[in-house]
Amino acid sequence: MAAVIAFVYVLKCADHSYYVGSSKYLRDRLIAHKTGKVKYTKSRLPVRLVFAKSFSSYGEASVFERRVKSWKKRKCSERRIIYSGGS
């Protein structure tokens, strides 16, 4: 079993926009978002975690993060994230 090194996560903001990010420390990053310490989400509070996926390397997480960010339409992204586990 590979150790978890990084996470990709998706937040849904109060204005119905999404924030896609990656972090080695998911819990700490979520606290930063929820306390207004992240520029994008600061004016869009509250935020809600809608998806998180772990990876065994930060490189894998970065590739997946770019893939999620390439999904242009919000409805398409939402369906992919919520209903298919993000793949």
Domain ranges in the chain are: 6-84
Tokens of 29: 């990053």
pLDDT at 80 over 80: no
pLDDT at 77 over 70: no
Residue pointed to by tokens 């992919």:
80
Q: Between the CA of residue 7 and those of 27, 32, 52, 73, 84, what are the distances in Å?
A: 10, 15, 7, 23, 17
Q: Are 14 and 44 in contact (CB under 8 A)?
A: yes
Q: Are strands 6-13 and 47-55 parallel, antiparallel or unpaired?
A: antiparallel
Question: What is the pLDDT, as a whole number, of residue 75?
Answer: 57
Give pTM, 2 decimals: 0.82
Determine the topology of domain 6-84 in CATH. GIY-YIG endonuclease (3.40.1440)
Question: What is the pLDDT, as a whole number, of residue 4?
Answer: 82
Among 4, 9, 6, 7, CA closest to 49: 9
pLDDT in tens, 24-36: 999 999 999 999 9
pLDDT in tens, 19-73: 999 999 999 999 999 999 999 999 999 999 999 999 999 999 999 999 888 876 6
Whole-angstrom distance, CA of residue 55 vs CA of residue 4? 6
Pick the residue with more confidence: 78 or 24? 24
